[in-house]
Amino acid sequence: MLRRSFISFFLIVSLVIAPSGFANTVSGSNGVVTSRSQLASDVGVEILRQGGNAVDAAVATAFALAVTYPSAGNIGGGGFMVIRLDDGTVVTQDHREKAPGTAFPDMFLDDAGNVDRRKSLYSAQAAGVPGSVAGLLDALERYGSMDREQVIAPAIKLAEEGFPLSADMAQDFERVLNSMRDYPASMAVFSNNGQPWQAGELWVQKDLAETLKRISAEGRDGFYKGKTADLLIAEMQRLDGMISHEDLAGYNAEWREPIKGSYRGYDIWSMPPPSSGGALVVQMMNMLEAYDVKSMGWGSAEAIHLMVEAQRRAYADRAEHMGDPDFYPVPLDMLTDKNYARQRFLDFNPDQASRSADIGSGSWPMESMETTHFSVMDKNGISVALTTTLNLGYGNRIVVPGAGFLLNNEMDDFSAKPNEPNAYGLLGDEANKIEPGKRMLSSMTPTIVTRDGEPVLVTGSPGGSTIINTVFQVMLNVLDHEMGIEDAVASPRIHHQWQPDMIRIEPGALQDGAQQRLEAMGHIDLAPMGYGLGDANSILMQNGVMHATSDPRSDGGASAY
């Protein structure tokens, strides 16, 4: 009771003082959608009302997010999805961006051999070949029940007729406006004749509407060939970018075997590489399974110490072993094996912190905080966890003239130089070097948890390197601490990623006295921060009722019927 009272107290406080938004929690027996945009969530639920399934709703939501949440929702980026079908089968789809055919390992190094971050983030060369359109349409064709005209129609309407800008979006547009001033097409979309948009003004995107109409009418050829492709390639040529007509025409989404793990009788289904998220979540859960996390108490020094030490080892393995499996032999069997997790945790000391400098990558014989995640579930238990991104917010800030959509800057997610940190401070090596046609490593972690074959939890998050730990903690909150979905998502979080050797801490994430105890254990660098770890729009199934919540850290929304 004391633990529950404490959690309830700090949740009330955090919801009151968290600067970004509030949790919108809804329940339904027929279907639920939760995303970063209330408009997009409403689109998804309307598709369910019309008789569509969760895949139809997910595709409609994704296209709507490209209109209503342009900093991360997209048709010019890529992502991953995990789908549980009505017969219990789980499939995963990789529509991650790919390096253009002319890309090469040293393309972002200057004459002195140093990484040119402006080039890797804010140039046309920073753009990978987009995968979102191919992936969404492929999923719809395989597992949807509606045609693409039906599911894209709401996004077209939102772009063509516009919608009033929220204060949150208007402020965000103004924040990035200076970085777009070199690109007239970007300024035409994200400014009102050169002046900042104001909250409440009607925001119309005519060029984007026309692009969506071409996709609706022609399918993938409406994006990867024809007028849209010509417009994209013209901008590449004007700005010395690398994407070619051949790159676009040759893009394909990949259906991959899901990462599967187990934890205290639950089954965990998540993304395999080139996402590192699924393997790391399973690895960390394997490390914790031998410990009574519940009895330690949420936010206790003992629980935080245990979590950090698991995070430290898993992220070290990420740096060494993770990359595109089509180019590099990722040792997934090792990383997700319970015996390996036990071996990796043998040096865990419950009273003493490790030093990251002493934790190398494991061995056995042998992406931006501005991503976005949404979750969908329908009355038949079909569930979709989908995480999509342009990498940093608004990608490379370049809108394709005449086409109305932003390009990604995902090429920065490769290792531009061995052991040189990317924009999120993540390290990488040979496994994630730049190669033509290769998919860059990601931290995106769309995840579905089942028990006895039935769906329990659908979750995921944006947050760059913090994504994996956000999903990890939502799962622990539900499975060990027995929280409802609103509390599980709203609870303050911590983050450790091996290097730098630092624990980032949201307000209220530690019980009274826990910081002093952690410092006594040797956790020296504890870094308080605001409420910025993730945006975990999630769904929990309980007693036949679907409960969906948006994350109070952001201005999102859930919808149900």
d(CA 383, CA 447): 10
d(CA 453, CA 465): 30
Q: How far is CA 213 from the centre of its chain?
A: 27
Residues 273, 430: Cα–Cα separation, whole Å: 15
Q: What is the rounded distance in angstroms from the CA atom of residue 192 to the CA atom of residue 442?
A: 34
Contacts of 171 (CB under 8 A, 6+ apart): 199
Nearest CA-CA partner of 483 in 16, 4, 23, 22: 4
Confirm whether 336 is a catalytic residue: no
Rounded Cα distance between 337 and 188, Å, is 52
Place of tokens 């040529």: 237
3-state secondary structure of 352: strand
Tally Cβ neighbours within 10 Å of residue 238: 10
Q: Is 341 helix (H, G, I), strand (E, B) or coil?
A: helix
* Burial category of 302 from C-beta neighbours within 10 Å (exposed 0-12, middle 13-18, buried 19 and up): buried
- Residue of 25, 92, 211, 371 marked catalytic: 371
In terms of residues, how long is the chain? 561
Mark 308-344 as b/e (b = at least 16 C-beta within 10 Å): bbbbbbbbbbbbbbbbbbbbbebbbebbbbbebbeeb
The answer to whether 95 and 74 are in contact (CB under 8 A) is: no
Distance separating alpha carbons of residues 418 and 268, to the nearest angstrom: 32
**180 vs 203: CA distance, rounded Å:** 18
| d(C-alpha 250, C-alpha 248), whole Å | 5
Alpha helices in 267-370 (DSSP H): 277-288, 293-296, 301-321, 332-335, 338-344
**Residue 66 CA: distances (Å) to CA of 61, 75, 156, 248, 378:** 9, 6, 10, 19, 22
Distance CA 370, CA 541 (A): 28
| Structural contact between residues 423 and 451, judged by C-beta atoms closer than 8 angstroms | no
Structure tokens given for 555: 């201005």
Q: Tell me which residues are annotated as active site.
A: 371
